[in-house]
């Protein structure tokens, strides 16, 4: 129903306000994401240089979930930003030994660089598609939720039952799901579906992290060194 009240805000004004809010959320998200990526890389470098050994994946997952819950609860306060750095720092720290193991194999450093470069290209390309086309990718939400749950359960099965082929299939699935998640989250920010830059940052960081680790696993397997 159209509001003809003299106190109703003009439609153009509403659209302008929403556009400014979306731009602010996007700007804050990218700024926080950049800092989070740098902090995660620093934590990963520290764990590598300090010779930290392999960290149990279950422990990694439990701490990650705990930090994720904390960040979600505190998402509207400054403590939420600390949660972001807690998540990204923890994932960087626990991934350091894995990166060191990959780098130790013949040609491993080149594979790490290739995975890192490919991740950057995918993220920039998909973000540009969402920003330039301004297409609404909200329709992917339910598929992403179901797909991530299925892929996660598949990853657990591959780990506990030592199934390399399933693990490779899960990595391929996460490459697709992470790419779609980048499109979905960026679109949500643009169209006002996501107004909290803290949670947007976490979503994009996790997508980038999973994309990088999945590509690294696939490239290593294709090289015959996995």
> DSSP string covering 129-174, please?
HHHHH----GGGHHHHHHHHHHHHHHHHHHHHTT-HHHHHHHHHHH
What are the mean pLDDT values of the chain's consecutive 10-residue runs (226 residues total)?
49 60 94 97 94 89 96 96 97 95 92 96 96 93 94 93 94 97 96 94 97 96 77
Residue 128 · residue 147 · CB < 8 Å = no
Q: Determine which helix (DSSP H) or strand (DSSP E) holds 76, and give its type and residue range.
A: none
Does the residue 44 lie in any domain? Answer: yes
Tokens of 5: 């009240």
Residue 176 · residue 218 · CB < 8 Å = no
Does the residue 18 lie in any domain? Answer: yes
Q: Which whole-number Å values give the CA distances from 144 to 140, 182, 201, in the listed order?
A: 6, 11, 17
pTM score of the predicted model: 0.90
Tokens of 33: 């994401």
Does the residue 3 lie in any domain? Answer: no
If phi > 0 it is left, if psi is from -120 to 50 it is alpha, else beta; for residue 26 that is: alpha
Residue 207 · residue 185 · CB < 8 Å = yes
Does the residue 211 lie in any domain? Answer: yes
Q: Which of 91, 192, 216 is nearest to 134 (CA)?
A: 192
Residue 10 has a pLDDT of 58
Does the residue 4 lie in any domain? Answer: no
Residue 53 has a pLDDT of 86
Residue 21 has a pLDDT of 86
For tokens 């979905």, name the residue: 184
Q: Which whole-number Å values give the CA distances from 215 to 8, 44, 85, 171, 191, in the listed order?
A: 51, 18, 24, 7, 30
- For the chain, the domain total comes to 1
User: Which residues span the domain enclosing 40?
Assistant: 13-223
């Amino acid at each position: 129903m159209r509001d003809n009240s003299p106190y109703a805000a003009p439609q153009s004004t509403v659209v302008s306000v929403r556009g400014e809010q979306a731009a602010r959320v996007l700007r804050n998200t990218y700024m926080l994401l950049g800092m989070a990526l740098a902090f995660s890389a620093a934590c990963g470098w520290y764990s590598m240089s300090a010779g930290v050994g392999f960290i149990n994946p279950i422990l990694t997952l439990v701490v990650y979930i705990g930090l994720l819950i904390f960040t979600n609860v505190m998402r509207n306060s400054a403590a939420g930003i600390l949660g972001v750095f807690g998540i990204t720092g923890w994932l960087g720290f626990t991934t350091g030994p894995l990166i060191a193991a990959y780098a130790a194999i013949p040609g491993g450093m080149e594979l790490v660089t290739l995975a890192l470069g490919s991740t950057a290209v995918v993220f920039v390309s998909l973000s540009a598609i969402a920003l330039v086309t301004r297409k609404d990718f909200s329709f992917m939400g339910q598929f992403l939720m179901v797909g991530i749950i299925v892929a996660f359960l598949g990853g657990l099965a591959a780990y506990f039952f030592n199934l390399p082929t399933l693990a490779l299939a899960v990595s391929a699935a996460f490459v697709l799901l992470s790419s779609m998640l980048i499109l979905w989250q960026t679109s949500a920010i643009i169209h006002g579906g996501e107004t909290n830059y803290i949670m947007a940052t976490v979503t994009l960081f996790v997508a980038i992290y999973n994309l990088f680790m999945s590509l690294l696993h696939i490239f290593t397997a294709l090289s015959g060194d996995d």
